[in-house]
């Protein structure tokens, strides 16, 4: 935008960008002080968005005031250039990256066969590779989080997307959230019933609305509005059903209880720019009450990311994570007590959460990874730029 505030029109810019028009310098010396922002007697126009309009009428000030405002223009000019340059700069590429994922924590993993364990490891490895490829090629942490979780949501092994558990009414309600550590922005959806990949809708809440969390019918209506986005695919609610989940639901109905099937999925990433991101997606608890929302779509409880500290995704019985703001708790221990990433996750798992509740995965800006849990197992995998790979189910 060119305007009366541009440096080329300001008397204070003499010596910086060439000589001052005579009409302006005469105005300043002969009349005892025209505001340095004024451009003399001739009509001046300012341009805004391609439109031209008359500039404001010059203000006559004492000579001292003119000098003072002149120097102020110089200061503003220099500061503006400096800030503009800083804003345009991107964090340097370090070549270092790290990514970790989880597929839920709990005792269910104790009761599967060795062949089933191989299938679980293969699924984790496939999802991990999607995220690894993105960040290894210099992609953004947020892109890696979304695309990795989409793979996990499409895999019926996990309690997210296809394979989500049944609620008490025999249907599926899905929750998801994302958070960008470089901006502090986040988005989430809860109780969606026809969105194939809730993690992508959560990201659109972050980027396309002024809100953080949309629920139920409102989230579905937002998905309608985003129907032109290829990542928002709609499916019938029965798409999420699998025979395994139905059998689990029938068993829990007989017990008249809601059991935590902790197959929630999550991903945390540090990209080569040092930016962090986190995401979590789930179907919730088997036989949960309709409308129940756990920690997964709650920023600070089940998902959190801050470039200054860490990115965290949680899995377990969500009510405990909500009450204790577990994801943010990890970040706070690093920020306020100076704990390392691994010490912070160890603290919340061992001293904040009750035993046999769940786990967390986390990564910091240096590419350190921590994956801790207090259950008998947690499906988890990680890889970093050194090539170190971890894929585990139990302790």
268 within 8 A of 306, measured Cβ to Cβ: no
Please state, in angstroms and rounded to a whole number, the distance separating the CA atoms of residues 153 and 141: 18
Which residues are CB-neighbours of 204 under 8 A, at least 6 positions away? 187, 222, 226, 229, 231, 232
109 within 8 A of 121, measured Cβ to Cβ: no
Q: Which of 264, 286, 317, 375 is catalytic?
A: 264
| DSSP code, position 171 | -
Please state, in angstroms and rounded to a whole number, the distance separating the CA atoms of residues 336 and 320: 22
Sheet holding 276-282, edge to edge: 213-215, 185-192, 174-180, 276-282, 265-270, 98-105, 377-384, 389-394
| DSSP code, position 109 | G
264 is catalytic: yes
If you count DSSP H runs as helices and E runs as strands, how many of each does the chain have, helices first? 10, 14
Instruction: Report DSSP letters for 326-382, one per residue.
Output: HHHHHHHHHHHH---HHHHHHHIIIIISPTTSEEEEEEETT--EEEEESSSEEEEEE
195 within 8 A of 154, measured Cβ to Cβ: no
Sheet holding 303-305, edge to edge: 303-305, 310-316, 358-364, 369-373
Q: Is 240 helix (H, G, I), strand (E, B) or coil?
A: helix
Phi-psi region of 124 (alpha: psi -120 to 50; beta: other; left: phi over 0): alpha
Please state, in angstroms and rounded to a whole number, the distance separating the CA atoms of residues 219 and 203: 12
Q: Which residues are catalytic?
A: 264
């Amino acid at each position: 935008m060119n305007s009366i505030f541009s440096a080329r029109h300001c008397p204070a810019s003499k010596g910086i960008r060439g000589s001052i028009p005579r009409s302006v310098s005469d105005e300043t010396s002969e009349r005892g002080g025209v505001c340095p922002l004024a451009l003399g007697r001739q009509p001046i126009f300012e341009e805004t968005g391609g439109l031209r309009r008359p500039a404001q009428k010059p203000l006559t000030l004492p000579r001292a005031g003119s000098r003072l405002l002149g120097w102020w223009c110089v200061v503003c000019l220099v500061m503006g250039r400096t800030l503009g340059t800083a804003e345009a700069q991107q964090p340097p590429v370090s070549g270092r990256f790290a990514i970790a994922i989880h597929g839920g924590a709990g005792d269910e993993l104790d009761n599967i066969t060795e062949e089933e364990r191989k299938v679980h490891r293969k699924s984790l490895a496939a999802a991990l590779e999607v995220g690894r490829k993105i960040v290894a090629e210099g992609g953004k942490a947020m892109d890696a989080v979304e695309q990795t979780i989409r793979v996990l949501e499409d895999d019926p092994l996990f309690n997210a997307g296809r394979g989500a558990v049944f609620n008490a009414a025999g249907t599926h309600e899905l929750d998801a959230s994302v958070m960008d550590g470089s901006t502090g922005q986040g988005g989430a959806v809860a109780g969606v019933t026809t969105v194939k990949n809730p993690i992508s809708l959560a990201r659109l809440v972050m980027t396309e609305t002024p809100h953080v969390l949309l629920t139920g019918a409102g989230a579905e209506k937002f998905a309608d509005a985003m129907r032109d986005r290829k990542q928002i695919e709609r499916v019938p609610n029965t798409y999420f059903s699998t025979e395994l989940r139905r059998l689990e639901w029938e068993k829990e109905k007989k017990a008249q209880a809601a059991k935590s099937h902790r197959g929630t999925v999550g991903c945390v990433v540090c990209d080569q720019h040092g930016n962090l991101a986190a995401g979590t997606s789930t179907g919730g608890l088997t036989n949960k009450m309709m409308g129940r929302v756990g920690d997964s779509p709650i920023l600070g409880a089940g998902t959190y990311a801050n470039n200054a500290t860490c990115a965290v995704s949680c899995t377990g019985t969500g009510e405990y994570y909500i009450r204790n703001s577990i994801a943010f708790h990890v970040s706070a221990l690093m920020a306020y007590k100076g704990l390392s990433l691994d010490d912070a996750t160890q603290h919340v798992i061992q001293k904040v959460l009750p035993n046999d509740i769940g786990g967390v995965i986390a990564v910091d800006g240096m590419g350190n990874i921590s994956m801790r849990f207090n259950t008998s197992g947690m499906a988890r995998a990680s890889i970093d730029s050194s090539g170190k790979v971890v894929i585990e189910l139990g302790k």
